[in-house]
Amino acid sequence: MNIAAIFFVFAALGGILMLVMRLLGHGRPPTWLAVGHGAIAGTGLATLGFACSQSMLPVSAIWSLGLLILAALGGATLFIGFHLRGRPFPLLFAIGHGLTAVAGLGFLLNAIFG
């Protein structure tokens, strides 16, 4: 779970950077940043999923996994539906994606440190 949390913190930093870029008027982030963000988050999701399948974890870790899967679906929608089509991503959808991911990270940190 600790390694998954590290991946998610780095993914969050990339997500914050993309949100700031959008707020500063950039239509969409560079593709390398969007793909890197998704790859790091996906690696964290796979790591957490593996941890959940291999041992008995606290309930908050399971909630974390569910929320982060939901956030991943939102991120995939943003990337496929907007980024690849050259359209700026909708701000409220991106904020919802980020808040869902932050909630998932919060549950994961609670499972680790709580």
**Rounded mean pLDDT, 45-72:** 95
**Structural domain spans, the chain:** 2-113
Among 53, 56, 42, 33, which residue's Cα sits nearest to residue 7? 42
Cα–Cα distance between 11 and 14 in angstroms, integer?
5
Residue 26 has pLDDT above 90, yes or no: no
Mean pLDDT of the 7-27 span:
94
Q: How confident is residue 28, by pLDDT bands cut at 50, 70 and 90?
A: confident
Q: From CA 111, how far away is CA 114, in angstroms rounded? A: 6
In the predicted model, is pLDDT for residue 74 greater than 90? Answer: yes
Q: Please check the confidence at residue 108 and state whether its pLDDT lies above 80.
A: yes
